[in-house]
Structure 1
């Protein structure tokens, strides 16, 4: 069991899907927007998802119309979605929205988001902040911790075996979003760094 929820994005092969589910990930994120790098088809996603159990299935989207997102939510059985842009109309499924670091730290922005997002995301929303560097200065850590105390804040990006426990203790995020990878060849994948992060988070 992990000390905090973990999602893994960029799932595009069976090795990743089965490994991450077996290591205790709460959810697998499939890039279903064809405009994003390394997108997978709904057919491939369904095939991979059929080999795992006990994990949430999420789709990742950028500029797709809400109607298309809703269609894929239904077709692929998605429980949540990860969005790169604020949708124009409400989404009925729980969502994670990527925001830049500066926006996540702004008090005024947080209050504005809380009011605006309650109607856009009636099923609930969390914010995802991507870290550009594995090292954060003390001020940024404190500001992220304050933001995490106000709304569900997920951290992605430069999450490493060396910083994951420090981020967990100082920021206390809602969870971490790790990145999957490509197979070296079918059935062969190097999980060294991903394994080290999972092991650091084991209770």
Structure 2
């Protein structure tokens, strides 16, 4: 099995049954029912709930379960920073997570081990552009994450040469890109980089039941297949 193949399978399992997007899409920071239902209805393959209380925008497990219960046919993913593997696995079971997103920062020296589900692992752009580091990380993580893994990072700059390099990285292991902000950028990334998928940002309701989806709608529509 190729590096990250298990994660790719998880996130692609519903793609051809229910979606018509040029790339799989995950939506991060889900904290309200408007976002959960809208994104699922627009073809998002997964919803990401911040379950680490030390991260901005965190929701508790009960809220995540409640919001997830209103949608069907999407992956439910938990986002974590400095949380130990056993606690992550407890929340995986409690919330019915199909995957986890692991954030990194300058103070982290190791990743949680023994996770029960595939992981999306953050890689800073400055490191992902070092191909020696990238290929070494693939080898290390293949052994450390038998359930499967993928990388995610901020979207690359618009230069065609750099995007061709990022496209070559995306062929070595599943690579998800955070962003983009506009529909045109989303379509351009889909055609030039061919990442495993895009990670978009959810938002807050203006008031219960009222949410402005203008930016998300533009990206979804740009990725919609004819």
Closer, same or farther: CA 193–88 of 1 in aligned 2, 3 Å: closer
Checking the alignment, whether the CA contact within 8 Å between 2:120 and 2:150 is kept in structure 1 is yes
Q: Show structure 1 runs of 5+ residues with no match.
A: none
Structure 1 SS opposite 2:168: helix
2:113 corresponds to 1:89: yes
Structure 1 SS opposite 2:53: coil
CA RMSD of aligned residues (A): 1.3
Q: Show structure 2 runs of 5+ residues with no match.
A: 1-19, 105-109
Of 187, 191, 211, the match for 1:165: 187
Alignment of structure 1 residues 10-159 onto 2, 5 Å: 10-85=29-104, 86-131=110-155, 135-159=157-181
Give the TM-score, by structure 2 length. 0.85
Structure 1 SS opposite 2:184: coil
* Mapped partners of 1:91, 1:76: distance in 2: 14
After TM superposition, give the deviation of residue 102 of structure 1 in Å.
Answer: 2.1
* Mapped partners of 1:92, 1:43: distance in 2: 20
* Mapped partners of 2:213, 2:112: distance in 1: 38
* Residues 91-100 or 158-167, more deviating: 158-167
After TM superposition, give the deviation of residue 88 of structure 1 in Å.
Answer: 4.0
After TM superposition, give the deviation of residue 87 of structure 1 in Å.
Answer: 1.6
